[in-house]
Amino acid sequence: MMKYSVSRFFSVLFFSILCVCSFLISLSLHEDHDYQTWKGEIWADRAGYYVYLPGALLHRFDVSSFPEKIDEKTGYGFILDQDKNRIRTKYTCGVAVMLIPFFIPTHFMAKLMNWEEAGGFGPVYHKMIGLAAILYLIFGLWLLKLFLAAYFRPLIQYLSIFFIYAGTNLLYYTVDDPLMSHVYSFFLFSLFLFSLQQFLSRRFSSAYFLLLSLSLSLSVLIRPTNILLMGLFFFWDVATLQEFGRRIRLFLKPKFLIPFLVILCITLLPQLLYWKYLSGTYFAYSYGDEGFRNWANPRFAEVWFSTLNGLFLYSPLYLVIVAGIVLMIIRRRSNGIMLLCLFLAVSYLCAAWQTWYFGCSFGQRSFVEYSAILIVPFGVILDEMVSSKRRWVMIVTSVFILFFTYYTIRMTFGYEKCFFGSTWDGGQFLRQLEKSGLYKGRNNYYPFRNDFENQALCYGDLLTTSVSRSGMYSVQLDSTHEFAAKHTTYVWDFHPAPPTRIKAGLSFYKTDPQSLGAMLVCAVDLNGQSLFWESSRIEDEIIPPETWGRTEKVFVLPSGLQGDAQISIYVWNPDRQCMYLDDFIVRFQ
């Protein structure tokens, strides 16, 4: 009895500390954020997830009752179609459903205390989102603790939970980006695992089957690709084909299949009704031209190692997880091969998606929810480390795990929503490491690279997939687009002294044999006044049409520039000819 009391006290203390730390971190990261800026919680994609709540519960889908231009003020994550009186969002409503238990009491408190509501977009709702994300995180971790109890001793359980919490991008998507879908999916994945383990150990308990059905259905409502989670029902702790067959037959029994289908249909019904309201059909693809365009050419290397949100580069603890999967396979432990297949399947889905880096992300954010499952191979590594009789194994493994965790924590605090570099941009990644306190360079003359794959660098540019030199995209210039590929920086961004020369290069592709009149321009401005302007024609020698050419230009900057002087490099196409640009590189010397 005493041992149980001590264990329970430690568990409460452990999760209470994680909860308090998460609140403090969240407050420190959001205390200076403007509510209607890209740093606010309800912005862009996040606003698209959230709009269902005020739309349904406060405004009854009446566009005219929304605050004026609130779609613009929240980064166009959704569109208020005034002509057709429709709220348009491409995102599913799962996150909004998960937030209902928090949104309703928050709204009543706002009414009671006369807090600013702003139609459901006021400051109190931003704070509500931060609270909800942390509570879902803590409950998810607690459920994982109960799940891991069937596989590991208490020490390994707590260590695994702490390092998954602190050493992966799970922490970032709880405290820094709490309205993205991932922490809510993480909670549901944890609930599914716990329910599945209880269902199997309690002789197929109907109550736990209903719980796992609900958690799976809600996770699919949040992200349809979460349907991968269903595979665990058939493969988890399955060692033989005969047992796999028994799982299938078990699922197909009417006492399980019918309740599962009923729960799934009821859970998905709100989304089907929204699609009917929006498009006139119950089943719709809301992502337009976006899709899995890389099925035949998946970007595995980029997903895992790119400076643009590569999984291992931002959360290297996943290297330990992969090592744990390999160790499970070598030791012939159950679930090893299944976990490898799951890791590769998630990687393939990410690598096949058109925007494989998933926009402004901290690492590969699609892996966040799967850390609830991948905690098992990480626990295997910890168990091997603690049990090893070779001291050097424990020391080396501990050093790697502690360093990877420290690295990710520093990156979490130093990251600002987006990576402003290209696919393999080592210079900008070093700048990010410097911001995070992980690297100190001798100077700040990092080159700028733009392969036009990262849309965060391409605002105002006309991206196209019709022709490209590298990757999927290039920038098109035509009769309606006169300027492109602009890079802007300030003199004070450089230390110990500003550059004296700029070397700029890019690849160009023309469709017409006529000589190009487009120019590469370097300009320096201060408070709206031009201090320096110089241009050079891109095409020095006429190249054949429909072939890629390369040009490099050197600009000598004037001396004595003030720190707030703005340096810009861009392409100007005064004749408005049709051409394409790719692989733009600016080096400061």
Q: What is the reported pLDDT for 27?
A: 87
Domain encompassing residue 377: 156-178+294-436
Residue that is written with structure tokens 């703005």 in the block: 566
Q: Mean pLDDT, 10 residues at a time, over the chain (589 residues)?
A: 68 94 89 71 91 94 92 91 93 96 94 89 92 96 96 95 96 94 97 96 91 97 95 93 94 95 96 94 86 91 96 97 96 94 96 92 95 97 90 91 96 89 91 90 82 84 88 89 90 85 93 88 92 91 87 92 91 91 92
- Would 70 be classed as within a structural domain? no
Q: Which two tokens stand for residue 477?
A: 């210039």
Burial class of 493 by CB neighbour count within 10 A (0 to 12, 13 to 18, 19+): middle
Residue 20 CB-half CA count within 13 A: 6
Contacts (Cβ under 8 Å, ≥6 apart) of 97: 52, 218, 221, 270
Residue that is written with structure tokens 């309800």 in the block: 42
Based on the domain organization, do 265 and 407 belong to the same domain? no
- Would 396 be classed as within a structural domain? yes
Based on the domain organization, do 524 and 561 belong to the same domain? yes
Q: What is the reported pLDDT for 6?
A: 58
For residue 473, the cross-strand partners are: none
Based on the domain organization, do 473 and 522 belong to the same domain? yes
Report the domain count for the chain. Answer: 3
The total number of residues shown for the chain amounts to 589
Nearest to 382 by CA among 401, 365, 367: 401
Sign of CA pseudo-dihedral 442, 448, 419, 373: negative
Nearest to 133 by CA among 29, 60, 264, 58: 29
Q: What is the CATH number of the domain that holds 558?
A: 2.60.120.260
Indicate the DSSP class of residue 180: S
3-state helix, strand, coil in the chain (%, to 5): 50, 15, 35
Report in angstroms the alpha-carbon separations of 16 from 168, 169, 310: 20, 20, 32
Q: How far apart are CA 321 and CA 379, in angstroms?
A: 9
- Would 372 be classed as within a structural domain? yes
Strand order in the sheet with 566-572: 483-490, 566-572, 519-526, 529-537
**Residue 548 phi, psi dihedral angles, 5° rounding:** -90, 130
CB atoms within 10 A of CB 236: 18
**Cis amide leading into 377 (omega within 30):** no
Nearest to 483 by CA among 533, 519, 443, 509: 519
**Residue 134 phi, psi dihedral angles, 5° rounding:** -65, -40
- Tell me which of 389, 406, 436 is where a domain ends: 436
Q: Which two tokens stand for residue 329?
A: 């396979």
Amino acid (one-letter) located at 480: T
Q: What is the reported pLDDT for 455?
A: 85
* Helix/strand/coil for 452: coil
* Helix/strand/coil for 118: helix
Q: How far apart are CA 139 and CA 187, in angstroms?
A: 7
Q: What is the reported pLDDT for 33?
A: 65
Based on the domain organization, do 408 and 506 belong to the same domain? no
pTM for the model stands at 0.93
Q: How far apart are CA 324 and CA 340, in angstroms?
A: 10
Q: What is the reported pLDDT for 441?
A: 75
Amino acid (one-letter) located at 575: D
Based on the domain organization, do 375 and 425 belong to the same domain? yes
Based on the domain organization, do 257 and 378 belong to the same domain? no
Based on the domain organization, do 350 and 396 belong to the same domain? yes
Residue that is written with structure tokens 């909800």 in the block: 132
Based on the domain organization, do 461 and 553 belong to the same domain? yes
Contacts (Cβ under 8 Å, ≥6 apart) of 3: none
Q: What is the reported pLDDT for 5?
A: 61
Nearest to 508 by CA among 561, 550, 536: 550
Contacts (Cβ under 8 Å, ≥6 apart) of 302: 308, 310, 351, 356, 357, 423
Alpha helices (runs of H) in 31-171, residue ranges in sequence order: 45-50, 52-53, 70-73, 94-113, 123-148, 154-167
Q: Which two tokens stand for residue 573?
A: 């196409």
- Would 138 be classed as within a structural domain? no
Based on the domain organization, do 388 and 456 belong to the same domain? no
- Would 416 be classed as within a structural domain? yes
CB 151 within 8 A of CB 376: yes
- Would 411 be classed as within a structural domain? yes
Q: How far apart are CA 493 and CA 138, in angstroms?
A: 40
Q: What is the reported pLDDT for 412?
A: 93
- Would 192 be classed as within a structural domain? yes
Q: How far apart are CA 366 and CA 355, in angstroms?
A: 12
Based on the domain organization, do 170 and 185 belong to the same domain? no
Based on the domain organization, do 482 and 516 belong to the same domain? yes
Nearest to 119 by CA among 75, 186, 176, 62: 62
Q: How far apart are CA 330 and CA 102, in angstroms?
A: 46
CB 215 within 8 A of CB 195: yes
- Would 80 be classed as within a structural domain? no
CB 387 within 8 A of CB 148: no
Q: What is the reported pLDDT for 494?
A: 85
Q: What is the reported pLDDT for 528?
A: 86
Q: How far apart are CA 36 and CA 211, in angstroms?
A: 38
Q: Which two tokens stand for residue 95?
A: 């996150």
CB 557 within 8 A of CB 500: yes
- Tell me which of 398, 414, 436 is where a domain ends: 436
Based on the domain organization, do 512 and 551 belong to the same domain? yes
Indicate the DSSP class of residue 149: T
- Tell me which of 286, 317, 352 is where a domain ends: 286
Contacts (Cβ under 8 Å, ≥6 apart) of 116: 110, 122, 123, 124
